[in-house]
Amino acid sequence: MVQPFLTISSLEKQEEPPSLLRLNNRIKQLLSPVDLTELLLEIDVRTGLTHEFAHVSESGA
């Protein structure tokens, strides 16, 4: 008995419409570059993520 299988063919590339290109450019103008370390620090301040980690030297780590 042959087991059924799924075949997914690749799609043809579609050109991006001019409106999407304009939107992409506008968004890039509005968003400033972000420093990754500053972003991680901001996330930690808001979520307390690093409080969930224990240092290797701590007992029970």
Residue 54 lies in a domain: yes
Residue 1 lies in a domain: no
- Could you tell me the residue range of the domain that residue 61 belongs to? 34-61
The pLDDT of residue 22 is 98
Q: Over its length of 61 residues, how does the chain's per-residue pLDDT go in tens digits?
A: 677 888 899 999 999 999 999 999 999 999 988 899 999 999 999 999 999 888 888 776 5
Total of domains in the chain: 1
**Which residues are CB-contacts of 55 (< 8 A; sequence separation ≥ 6)?**
61
The pLDDT of residue 55 is 83
Residue 41 lies in a domain: yes
Residue 50 lies in a domain: yes
The pLDDT of residue 41 is 95
Beta strands in the chain (DSSP E): none
